[in-house]
Amino acid sequence: MAHYSQNFGVPPKFLSNPEDLKQSVLEKSLLKITPVAQIQKRLKGRKGIVQKKKLDKQSATEDDEDPEDTDDEEDDEDSDDENEYSRIFFEEDKSLPNNFREIISQQSSMRLDSILSSGLNTPRSKVDDYFLGSQLRLNGDRVLKKSAQMSEGDYVDIISDVKDKEMRVKRVRVVKILHEKTASGKRKVVLRCWRQNVTISRF
């Protein structure tokens, strides 16, 4: 008996009563059993972790995609319109650089001072200064009235410097008058505005 106890670790008090031994083993086994509520809690926690991992993976996949795909499509449409107007060619501009921008301006009238103010994003008072300083040219001719009406294809130059046979000017051109109007009845006008002064011939 002593040898059995030494090999299997059975306390001597259980050797005389096998039923006590069975009861002790059963109690120890029950102590090792995890309550059902705790098991459910663990399973729920693991399920939440799995779901979180799936969401994180999905989010990472979305981040890898270009977030501006929709915007790009809209930009492409705007770009197509801009390119359409950019392809409109004018003989007087053939020697000028292509560093211009095109805007769609809303105009209640086609007065020269209004068009120039919108194209250059400058106040009317500044346009008045150009007019009083005889710096304005409409289609190459001196502007006699700042209220002169402009039409599709017309351009106005602001003279900044004159040297011999050349002039440095800032040019704004009426590229197109759209048929579409605003809710208030204003015209939509495509203006081409050069970003920097350009050199043109005086004659």
φ and ψ at residue 174, rounded to 5 degrees: -85, 105
φ and ψ at residue 52, rounded to 5 degrees: -65, -40
Say yes or no to pLDDT of 5 above 80: no
182 belongs to a structural domain: yes
34 belongs to a structural domain: no
Looking at the 3D structure of the chain, how many domains does it have? Answer: 1
Specify the pTM. Answer: 0.58
63 belongs to a structural domain: no
For 97, the domain range is 93-201
pLDDT bucket at 164, cuts 50 / 70 / 90:
confident
> What is d(CA 111, CA 108) in angstroms, rounded to the nearest whole number?
9
Tell me what pLDDT residue 21 has: 57
pLDDT bucket at 72, cuts 50 / 70 / 90:
very low
Query: In the predicted model, what is the mean pLDDT of residues 151-180?
Result: 94
Q: Which long-range contacts (CB under 8 A, 24 or more apart) does 52-58 make?
A: none
Tell me what pLDDT residue 40 has: 60
In percent, how much of the chain has pLDDT > 70?
59
pLDDT digits (tens, 9 = 90+) for 148-161: 999 999 999 999 99
CATH number of the domain bearing residue 169: 3.10.290.10
83 belongs to a structural domain: no
191 belongs to a structural domain: yes
> What is d(CA 176, CA 188) in angstroms, rounded to the nearest whole number?
9
In percent, how much of the chain has pLDDT > 90?
48
19 belongs to a structural domain: no
Residues 6+ apart with CB under 8 A from 142: 134, 136
Which one, of 133, 130, 177, lies nearest residue 156 by Cα?
130
106 belongs to a structural domain: yes
87 belongs to a structural domain: no
Which one, of 96, 91, 94, 90, lies nearest residue 199 by Cα?
96
